[in-house]
Chains A and B, each alone.
Chain A
Amino acid sequence: MTRVRVTAPRAPARTPVRGAGRRVESREAAQDSDVGQVFVRSLIRSQLRLALVVAGGFLLILAAFPLTLLVVPGLADTRIAGIPFGWLLLGAGIYPVIGLSAWLYVRTAARNEARYRDLAGEP
């Protein structure tokens, strides 16, 4: 029985083990130029902005849910199929919001990366 440890190498700051190490090296060499770094910085900025916008939007909706229940009197105890609305909203209604935020993020993040590929002239 052969057992294998899969970890990054112990020496600091070396290219970690990858399935295709050489390909990664050449990719990074192309990005070491000043122009390449400008593209990379802009990609990182747009991905961070996207993540913050989605997270912020989600947290706003999350805060709005209990606030709605507080502000509208009687809403929390209104029953739909025997279940109080407050339970439905917090126990089930938040999950579609999470899923939708995640889906929007994945789509837009992939688009940002596609734009970067076009700019950086990668295939």
Chain B
Amino acid sequence: MRRGTGTLQVSREARVNAGVAITAVTVVSLATAIIGFYGLRISRTTGDFYVASRTVRPWWNASAIGGEYLSAASFLGVAGLILLSGTDALWFPVGYTAGYLMLLLFVAAPLRRSGAYTIPDFTESRLASRTVRRVTSLVVVMVGWLYIVPQLHGAALTIQIATGLPPWVGSLAVVVVVCLTVVAGGMRSITFVQAFQYWLKLTALAVPILFIIFLVAGHGTEPQSMPAVNPTGMPPAGLYQNVSLLVALLFGTLGLPHVLVRFYTNPDGHSARRTTLIVLGLLSVFYLFPTAYGLVARMFAPGLARSGQPDAMVLRLPGELVGGVPGDLLSALVVAGSFAAFLSTTSGLVVSLAGVISQDVLGGSVRGFRLAAVVSAVVPLGFALMTGSLALAGSVGLVFAFTASTVCPVLLLGIWWRGLTDAGAIAGMVTGGVLCGGAMIAGAISGSGLTPPWLAQPAAWSVPAAFAVMVIVSRATPHRIPGTMPRIMTRLHTPERPLATER
């Protein structure tokens, strides 16, 4: 059996049984494809799609949104970061969840009522400008690509740890499975796949950690270290970094391209809110488990922090603390869950990106959609293969900062402020994109250890800057407020007539 021969030190007992792990990955990929194709048979025509949108229960819909949202960062990254940084890292799960609260408060119902299917659709109809549409499309594609890269890094890491195969196999496997299902049509707006993957992810995290907790408590194992002790001796994050991170996560969630598409499957604005409420419950339950992993690892396996791959902690903990055949089986479950995370988030992003690219560049044919899907998945694969894996939660945090500096201002001001103009929207998005993107590039060049905090976490200044430029330029160009504005604002905010399904 081939084992990892990389430069990274993998403690012997913490390896995962390769055969079991490969089986787990294969089963998840096949299940994803099969449920996808089965779902395709159910909803095949436009009529079916709309009918389905009326009959999808909020619970299914909420599970699907949760399934798409919980990415590699949530599944592997958060727990690894908690192991490294302790309570400072607890702001990540809190921020990911609270971001959905902001989405509920400011965006959910109006966006559903806008009838737009993608973010560029929304900005074009709100501001009556094709140029705004193009700029938004560009930003959305960049956000999507940036967000797919950490998923592929996670897959590379998982495959390397679990099977000993070279890391690129994991990235390639995710891209191939996603491309096949999306191109064949299997993942197209299929609620069932994503919903299934939420519950798979929850089970795959919950069962091993509960097993470990019972085992540790039953044996009366003495903790090796206190939770407050930092296993690597890294300095704690400052106040600025925590605040800036929260700004990024709270405002970044609003603008994620794959989130909006799912709201379309709600029949009306009110049910969009109810669905979001359930999503918040599902996320709250889910994030208890990465926190538990982090805490248990800090107390009973602090050595995992020193392996140089904190993101792999979730994968290694069952082998480290349980061991034997039960340890192998629990590890396989975690590997399966992590692949569900990579697949669901990547396919959600690829579908929404392909929609944007095919409509704006390739004329919107079905062939164009398929080509666009391949492009949307292969470009980030190139990035992922060229770059090394940073801390997953950290790199996803930067994507949230980028979204918060570009898409979030145009959505918030577009929904709530009558004075927004196309010129203001473009100026704001470009400002936010250049500032935040520049900080990300500067940070990547200077290396992770040397970046000053204000550059490593740009959201605290790039988001206000984007808002300010958007408001100032809009104020300066009031003649560009489109005549359709009152009508669109009315549509965004007034309730639909009560449907028979309501109450």
Contacts and interface: CB of A to CB of B under 8 A. Distances in A.
The answer on A and B forming one complex is yes
Interface of A: 1-8, 10, 12-19, 23-24, 27-28, 31-32, 36-37, 40, 43-44, 47-48, 51, 54-55, 58, 62, 76-77, 83-84, 86-87, 90-92, 94-96, 98-99, 101-103, 105-106, 109-110, 113, 116-117, 120, 122-123
A7 B497 contact: no
Interface string B115-147: 111100100110011100000000000000000
Interface stretch (B276-284, B322-330, B399-407): B276-284
A98 B359 contact: no
Given A1-B44, A3-B185, A12-B130, 20 more contacts: A1-B185, A2-B44, A3-B369, A6-B46, A7-B364, A12-B129, A18-B115, A32-B490, A44-B489, A51-B106, A55-B101, A55-B102, A87-B295, A90-B90, A91-B93, A91-B291, A98-B284, A99-B284, A103-B277, A117-B495
A103 B50 CA distance: 28
Contacts of A16: 114-116, 121, 125
A30 B497 CA distance: 13
Interface string B473-498: 00000000010101111110111111
B117 A6 contact: yes
Contacts of B124: 8, 12
Contact of B116 (A5, A8, A27): A8
A103 to B, nearest CB: 6
Contacts of A109: 109, 273
B490 A31 contact: yes
Contacts of B90: 87, 90-91
Contacts of A27: 494, 496-497
Q: What 8 A-B pairs come out closest when comparing CB atoms?
A: A16-B115, A95-B284, A8-B121, A51-B105, A91-B291, A113-B495, A13-B128, A13-B484
Contact of A8 (B40, B117, B277, B490): B117
A10 B355 CA distance: 13
B104 interface: yes
Contacts of A19: 50, 53-54
Contacts, number: 170
16 contacts: A5-B358, A6-B46, A13-B128, A13-B484, A27-B496, A40-B486, A40-B489, A43-B494, A48-B416, A54-B105, A87-B291, A94-B94, A98-B284, A99-B281, A105-B104, A113-B270
Nearest to B369: A5
Contacts of B50: 19
Contacts of B295: 83, 87, 91
Contacts of B497: 23, 27, 122-123
Contacts of A120: 494
A43 B269 CA distance: 14
A16 to B, nearest CB: 4
Contacts of A18: 115
Contacts of A95: 97, 284, 287-288
A86 B91 CA distance: 13
Contacts of A94: 94, 97-98
A82 B114 CA distance: 50
A115 to B, nearest CB: 10
A100 B39 CA distance: 35
Contacts of A106: 104, 273-274, 277
A28 B284 CA distance: 38
Given A12-B124, A102-B280, A84 B228 contact: yes
B101 A58 contact: yes
Nearest to B290: A91
